[in-house]
Amino acid sequence: MGGRGRSRPPTASPAPGGTLAVADPLAASSSVPTGGRASPALVGRPDASRRRLARLGWSFTAPALIVIAAVTIFPIVYSVVMSFSNVSVTGNGYALNGTTLHNYSLVFNYGPWRYALGFTVLYTFVTVAVELVLGTAFALVMERLTRGRGMLMAILLIPWSLITVISAFLWKYMYDSQYGIIVGILRGLGLGSPNILGTQVGGVIALCVADIWKTTPFVAIIVLAGLVMLPQDVYEAAEVDGATRWTTFWKITFPLLRPTIALAVLFRVLQAFGLFDLPYVLTNGGPGHATTSLAILGYFVMFQLGDFGPGAAIATTTALLVVLGCLLFLKVFRAQVGSEGS
């Protein structure tokens, strides 16, 4: 007479000792997750093995983190402290005597600092924009290659693999007004023998060309990595609909590549805004202050003029501008992606 709504009584099963063990259906049902979900009693229970692995991982990475903190975080914090201090040079080095805002007032009213800020911003904008266009073009070409892609990538990576100081010396020899190959080409074209690095406009253009030559492959590799990850069914649908290559690029490829392009731009802005080694070797910040970046100006003020407080203030303001610029860029990028997704 058992109906569907009546529960079955507990069943007895023989235990190993010869006694009867009663199987409780409620206990059995509680161990089986309902609907594929974990039991509430199991949610949030600490896993001892995971905690042990986490402690082991932290123990292995602790020495590297300590070294990073010692060589990176501590100098940054100390530079900020120095920028708010009265720094006096002594026979044994320097001493910090009280806090002040005078270093920042000197920096903000310093004409070379305002020029270095404008030059760094202009240089960053021009080089990153040109590198993004050229790098994307190279990536599109390599993405369509079926043979020889590896060889072309290896050739492109040669400028990026060179140390910046070495590439700067190479470009300095090529720009030389007497035996430089670039000046020789201009002389052969009947344009005379201009002193490229001796003029303000020529120095800025020469610096931008050298940087674009070196870092365009970096942007190309990042964009190529994003291109090979794009779904192919979208392009097949666009081809069926009769879309041209230009329309496909602007309507499909470019929107899908925005996260990759944003990553490349972010890396390049961080590198370009901290420009130091290339102009230091190529032009030494000259002629005059034509190619003096914020990093070079901070070096000159701190180590050549001996003004440690204002030099630390220049370094701190540069780092703060980089952080604010990156945060603003990421905010604008997220707002654009969110508007497109909605």
pLDDT tens for each residue of 278-313: 999 999 888 888 999 999 999 999 888 888 899 999
Q: Output the pLDDT for position 338.
A: 58
User: Bigger pLDDT: 239 or 135?
Assistant: 135
| 168 in Cβ contact with 278 (< 8 Å) | yes
Mark residue 93 as left, alpha or beta (left: phi above 0; alpha: psi -120 to 50; beta: remaining).
Answer: left
Is 3.40.50.300 the CATH number for 110-341?
no
Task: State the distance between the two ends of the chain, measured CA to CA, in whole angstroms.
Answer: 59
Confidence of residue 17 (pLDDT cuts 50, 70, 90): very low
Q: Can you list the pairs that 87-93 forms with residues at least 24 positions away whose Cβ atoms lie under 8 Å? A: 87/307, 87/308, 87/309, 87/312, 89/306, 89/308
Between CA 256 and CA 254 the distance in angstroms is 5
Q: Which residues, in sequence order, are bridge partners of residue 89? A: 94
Between CA 121 and CA 108 the distance in angstroms is 16
Between CA 197 and CA 205 the distance in angstroms is 9
User: Bigger pLDDT: 12 or 233?
Assistant: 233
**pLDDT digit string (tens) for 38-88?**
444 444 455 788 888 888 889 999 999 899 888 888 888 888 999 999 888
pLDDT for residue 116 is more than 90: yes
pLDDT for residue 128 is more than 90: yes
pLDDT for residue 91 is more than 90: no
Q: Which residues, in sequence order, are bridge partners of residue 22? A: 12
- Give the lowest-confidence range in 100-109, 113-122, 145-154, 293-302: 145-154
Which residues, other chains included, contact 88 with Cβ-Cβ below 8 Å and sequence gap of 6+? 94, 95, 97
Q: Output the pLDDT for position 322.
A: 87
Please give the share of the chain, as a percent, with pLDDT higher than 90: 32
Residues of the chain with CATH 1.10.3720.10: 110-341
